[in-house]
Amino acid sequence: MIHRTGIALAILLLAALPFGVGGFGVDLATQILIFAIFALTIDLLAGHTGRVPLGHAALFGISSYVVAYCVVTVGWPVLAAVPLGILSATAAAAVFGWLARKTTGVYFLLLTLAEGMIVFGIAFRWSSVTGAENGLRGIPRPPLVSGQWAFYWLTLAVFLLVLFALWRLLRSPFGATLRGIRESASRMAMLGYDVPRHVLLAFTISGFFAGIGGALYALYNGFVSPATVSLTRSTEGLLMVIIGGSGKLLGPPVGAALIVLLENYASLWTDRWPMILGGLFVIAMLVAREGVLGKLAALTSRRPSRVTSASAAPSTQH
Amino acid sequence: MMRRLALACIAALLAAFPAMAQQEPIKIGLLAPLTGVVAAGGKDMVDGWNLFWQQHGTKIAGREVEVIVEDDASVPDTALTKARRLVQQRGVHMIVGNLLANTGLAVAEYVKGTGTPYFIPIVAADDLTQRQRIPNVIRVAGFTASQLTRPLAEWALKRGYKNIVTISQDYTFGHEQVGGFVQVFSQGGGKILQQIWHPLNSADYSPYLAQIQSLRPDAVFAMENGADAVRLLDQWSSFGLKGQIPLITTQNSTDQSVIRGMGEQALDIVSAGHFAEGNPAPATKAFVEAYEKAYGKLPAMFSAAMYSGALWIAKAIENVGGDVEDKDKFLAAIRATRIPESPLGPLLLDDYGNPVWDVHIRRVVKREDGKLWNVPFETFPKVSQFWTYDPEEYLKKPPFSRSFQDISK
């Protein structure tokens, strides 16, 4: 009961956010939600399946590029381009996942890194289609959500749907299987589970949701450039996951919020803000390896008499 | 309710005291890459910009000018976020700056919707003042990539070069600069033996240099930025090509940011640009001296462009009596402003929002104190971004790319 009211309250607060923050705040919140979706898709593999991907920006960005190309170059309506963008990301994820399905650890990391670099290379060099390093621009938002607030609400709705879908997925037997694979792939294989097939499926699902994020991002920015599919973006996503708390449903969104806010507010005070980001990362590794959410959970669980805020803990771990 | 009431009060106050509104500072958002791959260039930009305000004070037409500097991190997505903040949160009246074409294009796309005046003294992407021009995006003290290399082609033809090889970094800024050159050179009867495109950050030029040697061109035209330029000039010299085959380049390839630390390798290289730090014209000379005094080094083109941009903007603000709130009036003033003397020569715009420049053919020589600098020895006056072509005809062609260089056979 407390859980439900907490969640409802959190959603209400998020929906009412535009009334409390200025125009730029709404834009920033939209950006955070899009990156939260992106980080969630990374964590589906990294935190829940135990396979850390380093090329996820490619999947996210393929969707952005397909939407941009269909709308700007071909002249399709946005509503037709978005499904194709998501489909392309899913298809690409299936290919990536098929190639990487049997690898683990550093090999999985490097393979996905290579896959990401291929997509980056294509985006950077195939100038007649991708516009090379200048990218593609002039992607309009559909009239209904062209306003700042409307687009925020759309993004919020999509984010909540993605969050809900992942929550259901992770609570299902399939989610349990993924966690089993994370803990011990060999034991799962011995129990009769087809591990590579599950990894492939998780990868493809992850790509599908990344595609949703990527399509939103294309509409949000109105342009797409190779920076969207770059290694930096993939690393940033992973950083969000680690700082927020890997393996917890709300970890990646918290991490996304932290990093986007830090980037935008630390840079007000200093040009050396990447150093602050680096420092924060080191500190997180030293004192809170389980991420901000994990640390909070650990701190609060020492005092069991206290009821934790419901919105902060519909965790799948318990 | 409270908010609406407060707004009404403010509105009433503003209406009652128009003079008070004038006392608000004029806010200029300056976007520069202070981190990321082109951070050194971003520093040059800010230095040049600051020098102007240090010299001339920050009060124009009775209003204080407040500059808000934001880091675009050399990434278009970040540039866009920062532009959003400048407009929505900081309430700037105009945005100036950006270095990389993709950051400039991202911000231009955004201000298309907001109508915020956006001035780009550095971003050279052709289409911003050609096929995809936006009324409130003006290349104040800037240039289009293909504009400055055309006079060099004309000079090369006059010089008697017949066969040329081009070598360039493989990205749009290169495609455009080289495109302008080969377009004019081939139309004038010159022959392009080969076009070499290499990836950014090439460590080793030897395969290309060997290729060039075997082609035996009359001259080589190079377009290289940053560390690549240093490496090419170095290897050109150590391969023994220096003195054998004339090397002519774009402005950025022999910019101060490149030749500052170099020795003999850079000497005698001919390039074309709207800026030449060794130009004896009084305005340029005064700027170079002031810059050297302030920062202890010769200015790069970015610094001169930002300084001249500040000069231009300040003059336009003065011309509208500080009323930058009226965007249309202010933009019209920017377009109409003509300044006879600046570090970059006379400042004036064509009908498409791009300046018309006196383009100098420059040579790298050693100054008395041993420092290298670019000294002009021939000038092509009033070079437009459309060269001698009819603008409307020109705009029907596709933009320059790797596959479209507009070479006449």
Contact B75 A127 (CB under 8 A): no
What residue numbers bound the domain in which A100 lies? Answer: 2-312
What integer pLDDT is reported at residue A314 of this predicted model?
41
The residues spanned by each domain of chain B are 25-144+283-355, 149-273+358-394
Tens-place pLDDT, residues B159-206: 999 999 999 998 888 999 999 999 999 999 999 999 999 988 888 999
Closest residue on chain A to B169 (Cα): A125
Contact state of A263 with B78 under an 8 Å Cβ cutoff: yes
Nearest to B172 among A24, A28, A133 (CB): A133
On whether residue A296 sits in a domain, the answer given is yes
Report in angstroms the alpha-carbon separations of B263 from A151, B192, B244, B273: 56, 30, 18, 21
Q: Are A24 and B70 within 8 A, CB to CB?
A: no
Contact between A273 and A263 (Cβ < 8 Å): yes
Instruction: Just give the CATH number of B25-144+283-355.
Output: 3.40.50.2300
φ, ψ for residue B200, nearest 5 deg: -60, 150
> Would an 8 Å CB–CB cutoff place B367 in contact with chain A?
no
How much is the mean pLDDT over chain B?
89
Burial A246-283 (b: 16+ CB within 10 A, else e): bbbbbbbbbbbbbbbeebbebbeeebebbebbeebeee
Which band of pLDDT confidence, cut at 50, 70 and 90, is reported for residue B3? low
Confidence (pLDDT) at A247: 86
Burial degree of A79 (CB within 10 A; 0-12, 13-18, 19+): exposed
In a domain, A317, yes or no: no
Looking at residue A305, what is its pLDDT? 45
Nearest in space to A312 (alpha carbons), one of A244, A210, A238: A244
Q: Both tokens of residue B135? A: 């009324």
B109 touches chain A (CB under 8 A): yes
Number of separate domains in chain A: 1
Question: Would an 8 Å CB–CB cutoff place A27 in contact with chain B?
Answer: yes
- Separation CA A103–CA A109 (nearest Å): 9
Tell me which residues of chain B, numbers 24 to 53, contact chain A at a CB-CB cutoff of 8 Å: 34-35
Quick one: three-class SS letters along B199-266?
CCCCCCCHHHHHHHHHHCCCEEEEECCHHHHHHHHHHHHHCCCCCCCCEEEEHHHHCHHHHCCCCHHH
**Chain A within 8 Å of B125 (Cβ-Cβ)?**
yes
Residue at A79 is within a domain: yes
Distance CA B286, CA B265 (A): 28
Residues 6 or more apart from B392 whose CB is under 8 A from it? Answer: none
What is the C-alpha to C-alpha distance for residues B178 and A237, in angstroms, rounded to an integer? 38
CATH architecture of B149-273+358-394: 3-Layer(aba) Sandwich (3.40)
Residues of A in contact with B78 (CB under 8 A): 263
d(CA A6, CA A18) in angstroms, rounded, equals 20
The answer, for A23 touching chain B at a CB cutoff of 8 Å, is yes
Cβ-based burial of A152 (10 A; exposed 0-12, middle 13-18, buried ≥19): buried
Q: What is the pLDDT of residues A252-311, one digit of tens each?
A: 999 999 988 888 887 777 767 778 888 888 888 887 777 777 788 788 776 554 444 444
CA B304, B305, B308, B314 torsion: positive or negative?
negative
The region of weakest confidence among A192-196, A266-270, B261-265 is: A266-270
> How far apart are alpha carbons B119 and B139 in whole angstroms?
6
Asked if residues B248 and B222 have their Cβ atoms less than 8 Å apart, the reply is: yes
pLDDT of residue B357: 93
What CATH number corresponds to the domain at position A40? Answer: 1.10.3470
CB-based burial, A19-42: b 16+ in 10 Å, e otherwise: eeeeebbbbbbbbbbbbbbbbbbb
Cα radius of gyration rounded to whole Å, chain A: 19
**Would you place residue B227 in the very low, low, confident or very high pLDDT band (cuts 50, 70, 90)?**
confident
Cross-strand partners of A224: A136
Does B14 score more than 60 pLDDT?
no
Q: How far apart are CA B288 and CA A73, in angstroms?
A: 45
* ipTM of the modeled complex: 0.80
Test B81 with A28 for CB contact under 8 angstroms: yes
Residue A196 within any structural domain of the chain: yes
Q: What Rg, from alpha-carbon coordinates, does chain B have?
A: 22
Instruction: Give the per-residue pLDDT at B253.
Output: 92
Confidence of residue B1 (pLDDT cuts 50, 70, 90): very low
pLDDT in tens, B90-109: 899 999 989 988 899 899 98
Q: What are the pLDDT digits (tens) for B269-307?
A: 999 999 999 999 999 999 999 999 999 999 999 999 999
Beta bridge partners, B219, equal: B164
Q: Which residues of B touch A127 (CB under 8 A)?
A: 172, 175, 401-403
* Cβ-defined contact of A273 to B71 (cutoff 8 Å): yes
Shortest distance between the Cα of A138 and any Cα of chain B, in A, equals: 7
Does residue A272 sit within a domain? yes
What is chain A's mean pLDDT, rounded?
Answer: 86
Rounded to the nearest angstrom, the minimum Cα separation between B38 and chain A is 14
Which pairing describes strands B357-366 and B137-138: parallel, antiparallel, or unpaired? unpaired
Predicted TM-score (pTM) of the model is 0.84
Closest among B149, B152, B72 to B107, alpha carbons compared: B72
A126 touching chain B per CB within 8 A: no
> Is residue A252, in this structure, part of any structural domain at all?
yes
Q: Which of B70, B71, B85 sits opposite A24 (nearest CB)?
A: B85
B170 neighbourhood in chain A, CB within 8 Å: 125
Do the domains B25-144+283-355 and B149-273+358-394 sit in the same CATH topology, yes or no?
yes
User: Does A140 map to a domain?
Assistant: yes
